[in-house]
Structure 1
């Protein structure tokens, strides 16, 4: 059974009301994206699509002191959990949650950056848990829908971060290009040095250009010890690093 909370250095994520709990690959996305944005001027409005526990919003709030961050979440229980996690954080004044379907979010002032950990498995078998299906499968927001929402909400010079399984990531890159977005930086992730890649974190913009490619293994070949690269990336957040 997963813990009801996950303690980070500067904030706590309670998660008992959420179908999808805090996981290492989501933490990697948050840390990698925050490091990518470090020192970037003009990041004042950030949108977190499918906020869940609020983890990604909180990680970016820690790194981006001038950013107001809005998390949108379809599931009422998860939205309430994210709101409570925001309120208990040091950045409560810069964080808000909106309980809505991303496709129904009004178009207003565009966002400077969007981060999303979307439903993963568009065609895989689903479990009997409806909320987990909604969180893990594209039952409410497929990749084309997601790209349309991002296109509507993102500023002309904005960028977005997405976490996806490694194998379908290439298909998403093609869909994104058709929608006018280009991969500018990517991190391909292995569970350990002995495994193949299983997750990819991509940073996209509307401007075409050379893509910087990076790789990372979470653990050494012994499958127990964190790699130096993982430690360096997560040290600002993980309590015991």
Structure 2
């Protein structure tokens, strides 16, 4: 399943203007020799416009791997600032960056890793009022936020705009990832409207194992790359869960 562009045409239609430079050919050499990816897949990544909502525990590994993979335009939406308690799991931020805006901190990391990627910042909270305008310029959205109000606003806007949404969530020792696609089951089928943040434990109250966010955030990046390049079978209508204590993955459909 390759992404559909904002005009309804395949994102591959932009590939002619997204040829790889000699430096990019060296940078992405392991992708270019990878069967199923090759030059066409790498050009699709370069042509893609991807938004990551939340530059925290899940957004950090997603941003790192999408930037490293060569996504052409990477949007980062986060209105929060880096705190010392973030650094146990949010590995793109640093001690020296405590107090800085997370979006700017994430941009510094991504640009240092891969200057070929264009970074666009959205340093505001994503809400029901502005979600459609924030998401509108992107082909694909990843949501790594930690509250249902934001997740619901992002999902509603993605559905309205016809954008695929990669959604991840973590709590304590467990995590999950899924994909909401325009032609698949929607957010409300997994998270009913009656669900509330009051019913969910907060990270501050119950804690979170640091590497767990890396596992789920990296899986989110993997799903995004699959959607962009058409490689494999995305998690549409399926939820992949991870129990870190038992070292077990499981899956259920919805």
TM beyond 0.5:
no
More helix, by proportion: 2
TM-score (norm 1): 0.43
More strand, by proportion: 1
Say which structure, 1 or 2, has more relative contact order (CA 8 Å, 6+ apart). Answer: 2
